[in-house]
Structure 1
Amino acid sequence: SNQLGHIICQQLREQPLVVLPGFGGFVKDAFGAKLDELRNRIHPPKNSVIFNSKLAHNDGLLLAAIASELEMTYSDADKWLTDAISEIRFSLNNGEMVSLDGLGQLKKSIEGSIEFTALELPLIQDEFFGLKPVSLVRVEKDNVDKVRELVAADGPVATKVRTLPIKRIASYAAAAIAVGFLMWMPIQNGALNNGKMLVHQLNPFAVTTESAYQSRQFDEAWLSKGFEKEDVLADKFNHEYLKLYLAKNTGNAIVVKTDAVPSEEVKLEVEAPTAEIVNEAASSFKVIAATFVSKSDAADYVAKMIKRGFSAEYAGQDSQGHMVAYGTYNSLEDAKKMLASVSLSNKEARIVSGN
C-alpha cells in the first residue's frame, strides 16, 4: 500500500481522479483559502481527496503509471495492481484499517460500505507548496468605517456618526475656559431670563451628525477589504462532485459523478443523439468509441488508446465525422455485447454497419 499510495499521489498531482479498477476512485477536491475569525488567521488554499466506490471503470492511466514507475510491462503492471487491490479487500473484510501513504485511511463501515478519511494535507499540494497560515493584526477603525461595516454586514442600517474635533487633546484643554466663558456671557446679558438662548446652546462640544443608509446587497469590491461571500447551500453540495471530460475535438462525453445524494439543483442536459439504423444483414459491425472532425485527430486518438493498452482502430467517416472504433465484429450480437460493456463509461458509444 506504500508504493500504491505513492503512485496514486503522483497521478493526482496531474489528473483530477485516479481509478482502481473494480474497487473505486480517488478524486482531487480543492478548497479555497479560509478565514479563522476566532484565532485571527488566514489558512491557505489546499487540495484534499475524496473516495467514490462507483468509479470502477479501468481507464488505463493507473496501469501506465505503475508500469513506468516500477519499470515493468503492462501485463506485469496489471497483475501487480490486481494483487494490491485484492490485498486491500482482504484487509478491509477482516475489519482492518488500510493506510495509503500520502492520502489517508480506508475502512469498512458497519453497513459494509468503504469509508475513506483523508489526511489533513495529502501529498498533492504542488500549486500550494510552501504556503503557511497568516496571522492577522486587528486594525482599529474610525467611526465612518464602523458604520460602513454595519451596513455591509447587516443592512439596511441607519445610524449616526459622532465627530469630535480633530485635535482632541487640545479641545479638552480648552473645555474648561469655554465652559466658563459660555456660562458667564448669558448671565451677563440676561439671556436665560428673557428666553433668547436655548439650553443646548451651552454645550461646548458641538456634535455633527451624518446619516448612512444602504439597501442589503453584496458588493464584490468588499472581497478586497477582507469580507467573505458564502454560499448558504455549500454544505448541501459539500460532498457532491460533478465533472465533464471531453476528448480533443470529439462529441462523445464521459460523465463522472460520485455517489453523493442526488441534487435537483444540479442538472446536466445532454442533447439526445439521433437514432441510427443498423443494417442487420451486414457482414460486419463496428462499435464506435468516438467521432472527430478531422482524420488526423482520429489517428491521434487511436495512437493514445493503443499506447494505454486498449484496442482501437480507424473506422472511416460517416455523416457525424471521422470514427474511431473499439473493434470490428462478425455478428451484431457480439457488437451489442461489446456496446453493453462500454456504455457505462461512454454513453455515446454506438454500432455502425461494416462495409
Structure 2
Amino acid sequence: MQLETYISDLLYRYDCVTISGLGAFLTHRVSARLDDNTHAFYPPKKVLSFNEQLQHNDGLLPSYIAEVEKIPYEVAVQKIIKYVKTIKSYLIQGETINFNNIGELVLNNEGKINFEPSYHINYLTDAFGLDQLSCSSIAREVHKEKVVTIEKSVPVTITPEKRKSRPYLKYASVALIALTLGGFTASNYYVNQIEAQNQIAQEEANHQLDNKVQEATFVISNPLPAATLSIEKQSGNYHIVAGAFRVEANSDKKVKELQSLGYKARKIGANKYGLHEVVYASYSDRSEALQALRDVKREHNSEAWLLVKALD
C-alpha cells in the first residue's frame, strides 16, 4: 500500500493527517518573505512537522483509503495497522523511513521519532507554480558617479547643479515647447475637420444602404439543411491540475499539447496570484476524479494534483 501517496493527497487539503498508532503530520502556513542577506524571495508555503503524541484515529486517512480503493472502512483501518507495525519494526532496527514527497522518520537515542521534512514540494495550493526568486542589490551611489563622469564629455549637461551655468538652454526649451504646442493645436484642428467629414460621409452611406435593404426581396430556392452541433461541456468542482502559467500564451500551448494526447484539457481561469491554471479534465463525481488523477500520475505527470473549486 502506497500510504505516503494518500497522505500527500490529503496534505494539500487538510492541516493534520493522523496515522493511527504512529503519529500525525501537521502543516502550518508561512507567509512569503525576503532574505535581506541573500536578496532571495521565498513564496508562501505550508511547513511540515510531525507529532508523535497525536496517534488517535480521526477517521480521515482510512476513509480516504476506503474511498479510493473501494474497500470497507474496517479493512482500510486494518491495512494501516499492519503498515504501522512494519514501519515501527524498521525504526527499531535503526533504519530511516522515507515518505516520498513528505520527509524522513528515524528514531533518536531516546527512542523518540525525529522527522526531517522534504523541502522540494509546497503543499500550499494558492502558491502553486511560484518558485524562489533571487535578485541583486542596486548600488545607487556607484551609478550616480558613472553619470557624473559621462556628463563631463557630453555637450548638454544632465545634473541640476551644472544647468545653472548655461541659461540659454532655458530659452531654447521654452521655444521648443511653444513650437510643439502650436504644431499640436494645428494638427488637432486638421484631424477634427477630417473626422467631421468622414462622419458625414459614413452617415450618408448608411442611409443609402438602409434604403437598398428595404427595397430588396431575398428568395432562397434551395435552403441548406439545419446543422446540429453537439458540444460536450465539462462541469464539476473536481479538477486535475496540469500546471499554472504566468504567461497566458503558455497555458494555451499546454492545453493544445494535452488535447493532442487525448485529454479533455482546458483553462479554468487565473488564480489570485494571476497564474493561468490548466487542467486535464473536470469531474462532478469525486471518486471518478480520484481515479482519473491516479491514471494521470501513472501515465503522464506524477506532479498532477486534485483541485476542489467551484467555477463561476
Scaled by the length of structure 1, the TM-score of the pair is 0.39
Structure with bigger helix share is 2
